[in-house]
């Protein structure tokens, strides 16, 4: 305890600094003015002023996911808090550690429908890992320290601390982080050794094993990813990753089959269907991954390694659950497992996989002259950014799937996308957060023209902090994924999915003091990307792409992994089932 | 594996604002069943409350419910009494019956058989207090129905394991 009582607002600043926070993403308002006043008087914390509270949370997510640290958000009461809800839900679904401080009306006004009052803890209860309403300044520092502990331990997630204005003015004691220990929350991180040994035995005995890694690996950190990579190589098993897991295993490694799931590769999905042992590592058998559940990987035994016991047996029954931090489990496996390839013969399995690979499922029509294929745009972006330390964020839709398919990641923490919630408008504010955390790095938001408009106001934030983020817009004039589903499922009735009045993105860039360029011809592609990379400051590159291009391969809703559509021809032959229609 | 099972689950939680909303929100948000739910502080010194939930679902859902409850930050312990061996489950009910003459006498006689206590009485009514299993309470309600039953208030189940084991 510090001797002198200090104001609640000063306690907030002190607690954040003691937690190692260097940057806060926020937007001021009446209820949080005392904190903004305290911010004004200090130099330890940097505040990034966003233009909408949703942007603040996504920026903090970008910061958190690219650094492995907790992202911090500061917003006011009422609309400030409700605007943050989408971001908080996004962080919950994708397990991103966030601490979000919300202002609240003074305690004596709570429940009176006061100006800018909202029941923030009530509203955010289902979209946070935990939340606090601080009613007494004496609880304040403990609750903040607890919030950081909860946000980053176990399966990470967002935590809200609701701060009534009178508590921020009140004087109270400050306690240090080391004095705070949570009463009950102790996630299990160390795995059961016997189960690890059993898993190693099962992997050694399997003829057709497959590793399926997810975002849990990224959350566990670079060391966990390195451990996972070593386990995969040592057991000579193929490996696939979820959308959230990209970067956990080097894409260039021949053991990598590409992404799994609805728009995953043919080889990854076929391997998942045909394997005899599936080892899920920090992944949660999401419906985008499993396809039709009763046809999911029917012949396999399943091992599920996850820090969250509630993820186990939720969608898919597994034979061997291992609860623990995936990094710890990987380390334990490496200790127990035999040296590389000892006595393993996977040649038959690899022969099958090579047959699937030979399908070349990501092929697209390269013959089109005069029209830019979106896949080509990303391929060129990938090729021309080699040699840069490049971080990629995305919005949500077709462009996101093409980015996941065609941009290859060799390291964790370089790929930021909204997976679970599928939040359009995520990419630009996330890119801001990444760029703040890595000022020297190249940060590209691969966007669609519809998604980018959802948080386009953040261009103003980009301008204010002179952030050199590059917006790479694949402009097909449609909400492309909506259009694709309407084509596949609704008889080509493109209800409201065409954007008739798009802005001139070049002028829009210029309006925000950035550079803009539009290209419509594939011949200009390389030159435009090179121009984007060497232009200092923020850039919007508006790439007019084929408006009719669909994202393949695709497992239609309600279908199994071995019922993939590989291209437009399959689409015509296999209409989506009626059960599939009602699924999302 | 698809059969519905009824489970009584005891949950020890920090007695803090919003904890009940958290538990109830978990059930409604994920579409789980609540047959009954009771809550009260059981340890004042450590500020702990005990929630008893009676729920039903497939085995997979029951396992999910327990894992999801365990995941709530203020939850200390989750115990599936149905799985963990013999336990005692009781519910209390207050039941009001209106009537005169013979039916009134019959109600009182039946109450005696069920060991219900009269906790309030007027010339035309009784309030009985009855404790027991849900089945016993249901049986008593069925008997009171033709005898002038007007109002029921039930607590929902509380439960505790038999023997020396504790939560």
- A276-325 tens-digit pLDDT: 999 999 999 999 999 999 999 999 999 999 999 999 999 999 999 999 99
Taking an 8 Å cut-off on Cβ atoms, the answer to whether A313 and B22 are in contact is: no
Could you tell me if A107 and A37 lie in one domain?
yes
Domain parsing of chain B, residue ranges? 5-80, 88-159
Which residues on chain B are in Cβ contact (under 8 Å) with A133? 17-18
Q: Mark whether A327 and A385 lie in a shared domain.
A: no
Own/partner long-range contacts of A287-290 (Cβ < 8 Å, ≥24 apart): A287/A315, A287/A583, A288/A243, A288/A261, A288/A262, A289/A212, A289/A242, A289/A260, A289/A261, A289/A262, A289/A264, A290/A315, A290/A316
Residue A369 lies in a domain: no
Examine residue A368 and state whether it is found in any structural domain, yes or no. no
Which of B2, B49, B63, B71 would you mutate first to test chain A, the one with the most A CBs within 10 A?
Answer: B71
Residue A165 domain flag: yes
Indicate the residue of A121, A122, A309 with minimum beta-carbon distance to B67: A309
Instruction: Provide the CATH number for the domain around residue A399.
Output: 3.40.50.970
Q: Say yes or no for a CB contact (<8 Å) between A313 and B64.
A: yes
Q: What is the ipTM of this complex?
A: 0.90
The pLDDT tens digits for A32-44 are 999 999 999 999 9
The reported pLDDT for the residue numbered A500 is: 87
Q: Which of A179, A206, A226 is the last residue of a domain?
A: A179
Residues A151, A234 share a domain? no
Choosing among A314, A315, A317, A321, which should be mutated to test the B contact, i.e. which has the most B CBs within 10 A?
A: A314
pLDDT for position A184: 84
Nearest-Cα distance to chain A for B10, in Å, is 16
* Minimum distance, in Å, between the CA of residue A235 and any CA atom of chain B: 32
Q: Which of A181-195, A346-360, A391-405 shows the lowest per-residue confidence on average (mean pLDDT)? A: A181-195
Confidence class for position A17, pLDDT limits 50, 70, 90: very high
- Asked if B25 lies within 8 A of A313 by C-beta distance, the reply is no
Instruction: Please check whether residues A162 and A197 belong to one and the same domain.
Output: no
Q: Give yes or no for a contact between A394 and A94, defined as CB atoms under 8 angstroms apart.
A: no
Residue A287 to residues A323, B1, B66: CA-CA distances in angstroms? 21, 21, 22
Q: What is the pLDDT of residues A370-410, one digit of tens each?
A: 899 999 999 999 999 999 999 999 999 999 999 999 999 99
Please check whether the two domains, B5-80 and B88-159, share a CATH topology. Answer: yes
Quickly state the pLDDT bin for B165 (edges 50, 70, 90): confident
| CATH number for the segment(s) B88-159 | 3.30.70.1150
Q: Is residue A564 one of the residues assigned to a domain?
A: no
B18 at the A interface (CB within 8 A)? yes
Q: In this complex, which of A126, A133, A184 lies closest to B25 when CB atoms are compared?
A: A126
Of A125, A312, A313, the CB nearest to B18: A125
A120 against A180, higher pLDDT: A120
pLDDT digits (tens, 9 = 90+) for B85-117: 899 999 999 999 999 999 999 999 999 999 999
Q: Which domain holds residue A438?
A: 374-544
Please report whether residue A403 resides in a domain: yes
Domain shared by A248 and A322, yes or no: yes
For the structural domain made of B5-80, what CATH number should be given? 3.30.70.260
Whether A134 is covered by a domain: the verdict is: yes
Q: How confident is the model at residue A446 (pLDDT cuts 50, 70, 90)?
A: very high
Identify the closest residue of chain B to A134 by CA–CA distance. B17
Active-site annotation of A, residues: 53, 115-116, 165, 481
Surface of A (290-309) touching B: CB under 8 A: 308-309
Choose among A135, A141, A136, A132: nearest CA to A18.
A141
Residue at which a domain ends, from A146, A179, A212: A179
Within-domain flag for A173: yes
**CA–CA dist B73, B71 (Å, integer):** 6
Q: Given CB atoms, is B29 within the 8 Å cutoff of chain A?
A: yes
> Does A327 share its domain with A382?
no
What CATH number corresponds to the domain at position A253?
Answer: 3.40.50.1220
Query: Does residue A584 fall inside a structural domain?
Result: no
Q: Are A314 and B58 in contact (CB under 8 A)?
A: no
Beta carbons of B73 and A314 less than 8 Å apart: no
- Closest-CA distance, A144 to chain B, in angstroms, reads 15
Q: Give me chain B's average pLDDT, please.
A: 95
pLDDT recorded at residue A183: 80
Separation CA A524–CA A505 (nearest Å)? 17
Q: Are residues A83 and A115 in the same domain?
A: yes
Q: Tell me if chain A has a CB within 8 Å of the CB of B64.
A: yes
Q: Please give the tally of structural domains in chain A.
A: 3
- Of A324, A357, A390, the last residue of a domain is A357
């Amino acid at each position: 305890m510090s001797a002198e009582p200090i104001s609640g607002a000063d306690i907030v600043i002190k607690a954040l600094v003691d937690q190692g926070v260097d940057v806060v993403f926020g937007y001021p308002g009446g209820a949080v003015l005392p904190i903004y006043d305290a911010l004004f008087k200090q130099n330890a914390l940097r505040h990034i002023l966003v233009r909408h509270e949703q942007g603040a949370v996504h920026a903090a997510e970008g910061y958190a996911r690219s650094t492995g640290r907790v992202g911090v958000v500061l917003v006011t009461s009422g609309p400030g808090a409700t605007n943050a809800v989408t971001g908080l839900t996004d962080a919950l679904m994708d397990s991103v550690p966030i601490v979000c401080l919300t202002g609240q009306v003074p305690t004596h006004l709570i429940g009176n429908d006061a100006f800018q009052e909202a029941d923030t803890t009530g509203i955010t209860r289902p979209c946070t890992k935990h939340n606090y309403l601080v009613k007494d300044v004496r609880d304040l520092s403990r609750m903040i320290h607890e919030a950081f502990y909860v946000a980053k331990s176990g399966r990470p997630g967002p935590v809200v601390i609701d701060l009534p204005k009178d508590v921020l003015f009140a004087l109270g004691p400050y306690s240090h982080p080391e004095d705070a220990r949570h009463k009950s929350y102790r996630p299990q991180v160390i795995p059961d050794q016997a189960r690890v040994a059993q898993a190693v035995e099962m992997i050694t005995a399997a003829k057709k094993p497959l590793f399926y890694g997810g975002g849990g690996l990224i959350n566990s950190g670079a060391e966990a990813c390195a451990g996972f990579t070593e386990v995969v190589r040592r057991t000579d098993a193929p490996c696939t990753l979820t959308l959230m897991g990209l970067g956990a295993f080097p894409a260039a490694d021949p053991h990598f089959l590409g992404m799994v799931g609805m728009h995953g590769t043919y080889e990854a999905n076929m391997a998942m269907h045909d394997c005899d042992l599936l080892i899920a590592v920090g992944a949660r058998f999401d419906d985008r991954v499993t396809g039709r559940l009763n046809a999911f990987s029917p012949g396999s035994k399943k091992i599920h390694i996850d820090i969250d016991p509630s993820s186990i047996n939720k969608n898919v029954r597994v034979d061997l659950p291992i609860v623990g931090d995936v990094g710890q489990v990987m380390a334990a496996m490496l200790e127990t497992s035999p040296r590389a390839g000892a006595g393993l013969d996977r040649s038959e399995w690899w022969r099958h996989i090579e047959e699937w690979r030979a399908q070349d499922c990501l092929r697209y029509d390269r013959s089109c002259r005069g029209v830019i294929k979106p896949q080509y745009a990303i391929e060129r972006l990938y090729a021309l950014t080699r040699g840069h330390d490049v971080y990629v964020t995305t919005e949500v839709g077709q462009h996101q799937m093409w980015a996941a398919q065609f941009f290859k990641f060799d390291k964790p923490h370089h790929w930021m996308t909204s997976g679970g919630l599928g939040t359009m408008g995520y990419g630009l504010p996330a890119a801001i957060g990444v760029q703040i955390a890595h000022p020297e790095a190249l940060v590209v938001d691969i966007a669609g023209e519809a998604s980018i408009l959802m948080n386009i106001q953040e261009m103003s934030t980009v301008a204010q902090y002179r952030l050199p983020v590059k917006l790479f817009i694949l402009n097909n004039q449609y909400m492309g994924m909506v259009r694709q589903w309407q084509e596949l499922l609704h008889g080509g009735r493109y209800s409201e999915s065409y954007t008739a009045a798009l802005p001139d993105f070049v002028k829009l860039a210029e309006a925000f003091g950035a550079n803009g360029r539009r290209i419509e011809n594939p011949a200009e592609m390389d030159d435009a990307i090179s121009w984007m990379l060497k232009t200092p400051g923020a850039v919007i590159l508006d790439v007019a792409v084929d408006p009719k291009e669909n994202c393949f391969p695709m497992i239609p809703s309600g279908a199994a992994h071995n019922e993939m559509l590989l291209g437009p021809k399959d689409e015509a032959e296999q209409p989506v089932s009626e059960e599939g229609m009602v699924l999302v | 594996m698809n059969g519905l099972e009824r489970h009584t689950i005891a949950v020890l939680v920090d007695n803090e604002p919003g904890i009940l909303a958290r538990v109830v929100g978990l059930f409604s948000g994920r579409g789980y069943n609540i047959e009954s739910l009771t809550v009260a502080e059981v340890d004042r010194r450590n500020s702990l409350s005990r929630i008893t939930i009676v729920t039903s679902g497939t085995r997979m859902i029951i396992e999910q419910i327990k894992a999801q409850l365990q995941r709530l930050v203020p939850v200390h312990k989750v115990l599936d009494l149905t799985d963990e061996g013999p336990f005692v489950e009781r519910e209390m009910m207050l039941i009001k019956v209106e009537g005169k003459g013979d039916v009134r006498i019959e109600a009182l006689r039946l109450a005696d058989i069920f060991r219900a206590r009269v906790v309030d009485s007027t010339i035309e009514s009784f309030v009985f207090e009855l404790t027991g299993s849900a089945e016993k309470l249901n049986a008593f309600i069925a008997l009171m129905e033709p005898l002038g039953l007007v109002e029921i208030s039930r607590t929902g189940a509380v439960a505790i394991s038999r023997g020396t084991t504790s939560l």
